[in-house]
């Protein structure tokens, strides 16, 4: 389960154009979770 901070970090990084793989690696979760 993602924390609220992780959720907003993912949202912000996606808006900046970061790749899903990079976001998942940085947060420490699977790519499917980031999608």
Q: What is the pTM of this model?
A: 0.78
Sign of CA dihedral 12, 17, 18, 23: positive
pLDDT value at residue 1? 78
State pLDDT tens for residues 2-31: 899 999 999 999 999 999 999 999 999 999
CB 10 within 8 A of CB 19: no
pLDDT value at residue 2? 85
d(CA 5, CA 8): 5
1 vs 14, residue with greater confidence:
14
């Amino acid at each position: 389960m993602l924390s609220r901070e992780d959720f907003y970090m993912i949202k912000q990084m996606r808006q900046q154009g970061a790749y899903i793989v990079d976001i998942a690696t940085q947060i420490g979760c699977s790519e499917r979770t980031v999608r």
